[in-house]
Chains A and B, each alone.
Chain A
Amino acid sequence: MDADASLLRRLRDGDEQAFTALVERYHSSMIGLALSFVPSRAVAEEVVQDTWLAVLRGIGRFEERSSLRTWLFTILVNRARSTGVREARSVPVADAGPVVDASRFGPSGAWAVPPEHWIEEAENRIDAAKLSELLRGGLTGLPARQREVVLLRDVEGLTSAEVCEVLAISEANQRVLLHRGRSKLRQVLESELGGEPR
């Protein structure tokens, strides 16, 4: 993490390249996160740009009680929420069904249609760009709350405590959203890469 710590130090020293490096590193996740609160890419880009300006303006006061990325994402989420657009969008339908389709289990609850193999395919036969595209598509397809959590936890690698801080949600809620989101991404990979059932 000390890549971030060193960028922070350089940024404070007025190093423009450190800013560029930070932008390259976080911009696309920030857009993805902003999109969960605002209705369009254009608005998301505005929110992200406002966030970068706020980050620059706040950098002198940033006390490093949280990590740089937690601070960055918290500013972003607060700004995206304060646009107030989210409330105007349709309320997400409660998403409470099983994470694996019930038809894949027999009456006793044992697998009837077990998971297909795909790990080797993903590791050895698919190039990173195609895999990224597939997963980005999967993320886009997730309900907003699940996408936010998976993006921060699994794509960006924040800890669960950091995710709870950024999104202002409880640990338990975070785990539920993470579970549903991750399970769907697994299904996307299986549907795309799966071969013969085991």
Chain B
Amino acid sequence: MSILSGLRRRPRELPCQQVVEMVTDYLEGALSPADRRRLEAHLAGCPHCTEYLAQMRETIQLAGRITPEDLTPQMRTDLTDIYRRWRTEG
């Protein structure tokens, strides 16, 4: 990092581009305490990354609400056959 860019930014401040790569480790509790503090300090001052994090949480929630596809009648019949076959195996 050049001296100039060091002056423009506080040292060791995370750029947003790096924050988006750390989001999963953050949500998984896999960041070191130091990285977690840097990330949280960034979030406190960055509405866009805060929004991004909220969207990742929302994505996880929505994925958890995906409804299973209905079984086709053929699959249902096949699976019933499997069950009955197993019952007769004794």
Interfacial residues, chain A to chain B (CB-CB below 8 A) = 14, 16, 19-20, 23-29, 31, 45, 49, 52-53, 56-57, 98-100, 102, 105, 108-111, 114-115, 117-119, 122-123, 128-129, 131-132, 135-136, 139, 150, 154-155, 157, 160, 171, 175, 178-179, 182-183, 185-186, 189-190, 198
Known contacts A135-B66, A190-B55: A175-B17 contact under CB 8 Å: no
Known contacts A53-B85, A119-B58, A198-B47: A185-B17 contact under CB 8 Å: no
Interface pair A189/B59, CB less than 8 Å apart: yes
Known contacts A49-B82, A155-B63: A198-B21 contact under CB 8 Å: no
Q: State the main secondary structure of chain B at its contact with A.
A: helix
Alpha-carbon distance between A175 and B55 when the two chains are bound, in angstroms: 18
Give chain B residues whose Cβ lies under 8 Å from the Cβ of A186: 55-56, 59
Q: Which residue of B lies closest to A23 (CB)?
A: B79
Known contacts A23-B79, A105-B17, A128-B65: A117-B51 contact under CB 8 Å: yes
In the assembled complex, the CB of A43 is this many whole angstroms from the nearest CB of chain B, namely 14
Give chain A residues whose Cβ lies under 8 Å from the Cβ of B69: 28, 31, 136
B61-87: which have CB < 8 Å to A?
A: 62-69, 71, 75, 78-80, 82-83, 85-87
A-contact 0/1 string along B9-21, CB 8 Å cutoff:
1000001111011
Give the size range of B's interface with the partner. Answer: 35 or more
In the assembled complex, the CB of A102 is this many whole angstroms from the nearest CB of chain B, namely 7
